[in-house]
Amino acid sequence: MAKIHYRIVEHDGGWAYKLNDVFSEPFLNKAAALAAARRVAAEQHVPGDTTHIEYQDETGRWRTELSEALDRPDADVIP
């Protein structure tokens, strides 16, 4: 199981949550960004349907994989 960490950071004149090098939309304050990150992390634990997914990797190459319904990452938030 993959482990992912959302981090709360200052961004774009406000606050955002960040996963690796990707930022969320900006929030007016840290509390709002933290609440949004906690909602997103909780949603990561909800099983979905087994489906094929496409994503772009860190080198810019597009990949296709089968995503199992119960193969969910363990997500948390680091304030």
Instruction: Using the predicted structure, report yes or no on whether residue 69 has a pLDDT greater than 80.
Output: no
Select the more confidently predicted residue: 76 or 9: 9
Question: What is this structure's pTM?
Answer: 0.70
> How many domains does one find in the chain?
1
Instruction: Using the predicted structure, report yes or no on whether residue 76 has a pLDDT greater than 70.
Output: yes
* Structural domain that includes position 17: 3-78
* Residue from 2, 4, 5, 1 nearest 77 by CA: 5
- State residue 1's pLDDT score: 62
Residue range 17-52, pLDDT digits in tens: 999 999 999 999 999 999 999 999 998 877 778 888
Query: Is residue 9 classed exposed, middle or buried when 0-12, 13-18 and 19+ CB atoms within 10 A define those classes?
Result: middle
Select the more confidently predicted residue: 13 or 47: 13
